[in-house]
Structure 1
Amino acid sequence: MARSPQRLSGTPDDQTSPIPGRVTAPALRRGLDILELFLDSSEGLRVPEMTAALGIPRASTHELVGALVDRGYLQPKPGSAGQFVLGVKTFQLGGAYERSLDIVEAGREAARAVAAECGETVQIVVRDERVVVYIVRIDSTHSVRLVSDVGSRLPAHCTAGGKVLLASLSPEELATLFPDDTSLLPMTTRSIDTVERLNRELAETRERGWGEEYCESNQDVACVAAPVRNPRGECVAAMSISIPTIRWQDDKRADYVALVSTGARELSTRLGARL
């Protein structure tokens, strides 16, 4: 059974709105509640299941489902009498929402919140083949800090954010990008310089869900990063926190990882991902 969506009020007919001075229409709210049930149901739902999940009269559910079917937001599931699935109109709305997204603008807001918590440089990168491109940077408040520019490019395998993005690729995609050790150009003496080491590092990154680097792209900087996902769950960017080694403390790693992971999840949610 799908879970009931969270409510802002205690009863189905409470008309309190989160916007002061406004009320919401109970029928509209119930219709949206029905649609939200399908967020957790890939097989479809029947009217009795919707009624039980939401605690509303079956007659009301039938009426609302009928209206949603008429408008294309729900449709009968082929070959399954009495069962409904999402209709094409919900797909069209999702596409319109995705087209309106601005990852840079949303990323700045999310990165700014993380930077305010830690006081360090927070960046967001996307991948372009073997390199990462920095699309957002919020500067550290410290006098000693990482110097970088939006638009700058670095080898993906040398950065924490790049490792996160590379870890989302298939073995075949990785083999195409890095066919042999000569394709891994180092930036410091600590940079990954063999395919074997890269695969080992990416497997670890994939397993734990976050990436790190210590003096691999800059001999004076450590970094942790987490994935940013789109509505399809794909890793489309990475958020990172960069800390000069003079301030880096191993016992603070977990705190930085938790902070950047939270920030990346919040940005992913703004982009429409369900985590």
Structure 2
Amino acid sequence: MEKKYWVPALEKADVVLQAISGQPSKLKLIDLSKQLGINKSSMFSLLNTMETLEWVVREAEGTYSLGSKLGFIGNVFFKQFSLIDRFRKEASVTKHTIQETIQLAKLEQRDVLYLAKEEMPSPVRLASEPGMKLPAHATALGKAMLAALDPAEVEALYPNEELGQELTLHTIKSRRELMEQLAAIRDQGHACDLQEAVMGFCCVAAPVRDAQGKVIAAISCSMFQHEWEQKREQASREICALAGRLSQGSCQ
């Protein structure tokens, strides 16, 4: 592996964590120093920093074990796969209720990253597939997740008034309009995309939250524009209910 942009301190922290994980509550500072060939001064700094970050815990006897922060991060790592599994199970039922394809995505800066899709047979397939990205401001999924951010965070993501990346004639063009829509989405609990991502298609999305109430993803369903007026209320209701089941909390 090329180490052109390598950070040696992180590599040292990694080997320390691996050593502690192999012998939890067994190794003291001097033991780690000898075993890993890291001088005591550097080892002290590493352990002190990791203890402050809650990566490790210093026991009463001076030995070390892994800290709660690593447990939290590891739990989140596995939960992301659990969410996709639960989405597939739950959405496979809901898609038949509303007769529309349902998608799961997460927010990555100014983009929506598609994670999974439960598809209904249709003569027209949605172009969005797991692994694809689209501009968040142009999609119901993105707006549902952007609405969970503080306005200051949204402004930091979109420092310019002109948003750019117009996917259709109906894509939001200005930060002012985006902020207005996000305020409304916070009140109603779900977001809509009216031909903003793809001409001829409308979409409704709702946020998925973790146990602390933080938005970690969103789900949506899309349909032809001519079906929107007949199915929008049912679709909104079912998508919010599905988001509630996937969340630890509930959808408004």
User: Aligned match of 1:172 in 125, 128, 152?
Assistant: 152
Cα drift, residue 153 of structure 1: 0.5
> Which residue in the other structure is 2:229 paired with?
250
Cα gap change, 1:94 to 1:179, in 2 (>3 Å): closer
Aligned length: 181
Aligned ranges 1:161-200 → 2 under 5 Å: 161-200=141-180
Cα gap change, 1:197 to 1:116, in 2 (>3 Å): same
Cα drift, residue 148 of structure 1: 2.4
Instruction: Give identity over the alignment, percent.
Output: 29
Q: How far, CA to CA, are the matches of 1:96 and 1:249 in structure 2?
A: 41
> Which residue in the other structure is 1:230 paired with?
210
Q: How far, CA to CA, are the matches of 2:70 and 2:164 in structure 1?
A: 42
Cα drift, residue 92 of structure 1: 11
Secondary structure class of the residue paired with 2:162: helix
> Which residue in the other structure is 2:240 paired with?
261
RMSD, aligned CA: 2.2
CA contact (8 A) 2:219 2:243 kept: yes
CA contact (8 A) 1:120 1:145 kept: no
User: What do residues 138-197 of structure 1 show as CA deviations (whole Å, max 9, x unaligned)?
Assistant: 112232342321111000001001000000001111011111233342111100000110
Provide the TM-score with structure 1 as the length reference.
Answer: 0.61
Cα gap change, 1:193 to 1:252, in 2 (>3 Å): same
Q: How far, CA to CA, are the matches of 1:94 and 1:274 in structure 2?
A: 19
Provide the TM-score with structure 2 as the length reference.
Answer: 0.66
The reply to whether residue 123 of structure 1 matches residue 98 of structure 2 is: no
User: What do residues 23-68 of structure 1 show as CA deviations (whole Å, max 9, x unaligned)?
Assistant: xxxxxxxxxxxxxxxxxxxxxxxxxxxxxxxxxxxxxxxxxxxxxx
Secondary structure class of the residue paired with 1:183: coil
User: Aligned match of 1:203 in 183, 187, 201?
Assistant: 183
> Which residue in the other structure is 2:128 paired with?
148
Cα gap change, 1:100 to 1:215, in 2 (>3 Å): same
Q: Which runs of 5+ in 1 are unaligned?
A: 1-90
User: What do residues 50-95 of structure 1 show as CA deviations (whole Å, max 9, x unaligned)?
Assistant: xxxxxxxxxxxxxxxxxxxxxxxxxxxxxxxxxxxxxxxxx99988
Cα gap change, 1:126 to 1:96, in 2 (>3 Å): closer
Q: Which runs of 5+ in 2 are unaligned?
A: 1-68
> Which residue in the other structure is 2:17 paired with?
none
Q: Which runs of 4+ in 1 moved over 4 A?
A: 91-99
CA contact (8 A) 2:202 2:228 kept: no
